[in-house]
Amino acid sequence: MTSAAATEPSFDLDPTLPPSDYDILIVEDTASMRTIYEAHMRRAGYRTLATGTAGEALELFRAHRVSVVLLDLMLPDRDGLDLLIDLLDVRPSTSVVVVAAERSTERTVSAIRRGALDYLVKPVSETRLMEAVEAAQRAANLAHPPHSKQARTPVGDFVGHSAPMLEVYETIRACARSMAPVCIIGENGTGKEMAAQAIHRLSDRAQGPFITLDCGALTSDRFETEVFGHRRGAFAGAVNDRLGAAELADGGTLFLDEICDLPLALQTKLLRFLQTGQVHPLGAEAARRVNLRILAATSIAPEEAMRRGQLRSDLYYRLMVVPLRMPPLCNRPEDIPLLADTFLHRFSALEGRGLNTIAPETMARLKAHNWPGNVRELANVVRAATVLHEGDMVLPDMLPKALQDIPSAAPVTENRPDFESMTLAELERAAIEAALGRHDGAVQRAAADLGVAPSTLYRKLDTWRQD
């Protein structure tokens, strides 16, 4: 084996790279663990490279095409999260599986946000390790570089190109390939179930079922049947076998809607299922294991629900591996014209009406409304106009009375910092925070605005959190 350091980052189609003669790069500083991982991989037929340092890992990665990296976070010469960023800067379509000595929600979220496909905690069984590597290999075969035009394209049935929605699309694409649980957080009407469906459709489980379980509707006497099912004769009235949501979702995705509305007593039962992956229907002789992806959603802040005792802390940490926050419509007003036009054409066709244009003064009122019901409320307003009115243009008097009476928006004043009194470090921080604010916290786009590498911003943010 030979290795040669490259002076510039190389991407997958760079013709100067040698052929793909390795499948997996193992980065693990403990020699015994490195040997064990290599043995597992080679038994499965994978061709491996292995190293114990971040420096050599980056050198090997630049010199050889590998599709999967198994990355330990605790390395002697560098933090594994920083190496993760550099690896994906060099070749964005690589699948990275992170291995850590302990489970840390903050580290897990950081790893997934920075592009890791999966997060494993030592000791890792051979079965779990190989499942993660096989999923990573499949994802690598299907991957598209995240910096392509596709990154700005809406996913699923979403409409909009605002910065908050681009962040949503980016997160959905990043986590769809993973088995990590995703918790979708947002007000009613922001599209939480649409986000869950988009994740499912972009995953390698797209051909499997997508099953929704309404946690707010579950009661103690119905929980076992609704979630796990029952066999005929299990209780009076059980005249037929019935599959529960967990069995129906086998091979696909189980979407736990409004997880914070599930009674605490039932959260314990749900947590036990999530930990074991086993289903034991009422009246069945034995339990059976199911293979499914868990997605959850809540319309209230899960952190607040946990503090109030509404959500168990262990269930919170089980589900909040990848948080996906859906922006309310008032935080993305630039999407309102496109959404309104989309709904108008959709509902006009559905209702057989001739309305096809929204008058400028009508659009101004739509943009000035704060939309407490979010996208769902906007859709209802547009549909009501198409049902109740004739003509070819939506005029202001076709809107509900509350929107007709919206006053003119007050001029926006901007509080500018006093640059003359700030130090260089304070100016730098102000510039970074302003860029992050413009892009709703999206580090990649903020870094592009500032002309620096994303890894630079991540290091700055980590430093400030420690202050």
Q: For 348-361, what is each residue's pLDDT tens digit?
A: 988 888 888 898 88
Going across the sheet that includes 48-51, the strands are 48-51, 24-27, 68-72, 95-100, 118-121
pLDDT, position 142: 61
User: Which residue did the predictor score with more confidence, 215 or 153?
Assistant: 215
CATH code, 330-404:
1.10.8.60
Neighbours of 412 (CB within 10 A): 5
pLDDT for the residue numbered 467: 59
Provide the pLDDT for residue 105.
Answer: 63
Angle between helices 454-466 and 443-450 (to 10 degrees): 110
Q: Taking 50 as the threshold, does the pLDDT of residue 251 lie above it? A: yes
The whole-number pLDDT of residue 254 equals 95
**Residue 419: what pLDDT?**
57
CB-based contacts of 38, cutoff 8 Å, min separation 6: 26, 48, 50
pLDDT of 412 reads 38
Residues of the chain with CATH 1.10.8.60: 330-404
Q: Place 408 in a pLDDT band, splitting at 50, 70 and 90.
A: very low
End-to-end CA distance of the chain: 45
Percent of the chain at pLDDT exceeding 90: 32
Q: How is residue 352 written in tokens?
A: 């057989």
Fold for 419-466, please state it: Arc Repressor Mutant, subunit A (1.10.10)
Instruction: Report whether pLDDT(295) > 90.
Output: yes
Q: How confident is the model at residue 187 (pLDDT cuts 50, 70, 90)?
A: very high
DSSP code at position 154 = P
Does the predicted model carry a pTM greater than 0.85? no
Q: CATH 1.10.10: which residues of the chain? A: 419-466
pLDDT at 411: 39
Report the CATH architecture of 24-142. 3-Layer(aba) Sandwich (3.40)
In this predicted model, which residue has the larger pLDDT, 307 or 19?
307
The first and second tokens of residue 369, run together, are 């409304």
CA contacts within 13 A on the Cβ side of 212: 12
Comparing C-alpha atoms, which of 214, 207, 293 is closest to residue 253?
293
Please, what is the average pLDDT of the chain? 82
Q: Which has more pLDDT, 71 or 177?
A: 71
Which pair of tokens denotes residue 166? 């681009």
Position 46 pLDDT exceeds 60: yes
Domain with CATH 3.40.50.300 in the chain: 151-327
- What is the pLDDT at residue 354? 87
Domain 151-327 has CATH 3.40.50.11890: no
Residue 322 has pLDDT above 60, yes or no: yes
**What is the mean pLDDT of the segment spanning 163-180?**
87
Sheet of 322-325, strands arranged across: 210-214, 253-257, 293-298, 182-185, 322-325
> Is the pLDDT assigned to residue 104 strictly greater than 70?
no
pLDDT of residue 444: 67
**Both structure tokens of 39:** 């043995």
Number of neighbours of residue 405 by Cβ within 10 angstroms: 9
Percent of the chain scoring above 70 in pLDDT = 84
State the span(s) of the chain assigned CATH 3.40.50.2300: 24-142
Q: How far apart are CA 448 and CA 147, in angstroms?
A: 11
Confidence of residue 260 (pLDDT cuts 50, 70, 90): very high
119-130 pLDDT tens trace: 888 888 888 888
What is the distance between the alpha carbons of residues 294 and 245, in angstroms, rounded to a whole number?
12
Distance in angstroms (rounded) separating the CA atoms of residues 159 and 162: 10
Concatenated DSSP letters for 67-94?
SEEEEESB-SSSBHHHHHHHHHHH-TT-
Q: What digits encode the pLDDT tens for the residues 419-442? A: 566 677 777 778 887 777 676 566
How far apart (Å, rounded) are the C-alpha atoms in residues 265 and 293? 23
Residue 318 CA, distance from chain mean position: 15
State the pLDDT at residue 220.
84
* pLDDT higher than threshold 90 for residue 326: yes
The average pLDDT across 162-181 equals: 87
| Lowest mean pLDDT, pick from 141-145, 147-151, 175-179 | 147-151
120's CB contacts (< 8 A; 6+ apart) are 97, 98, 99, 100, 128, 129, 132
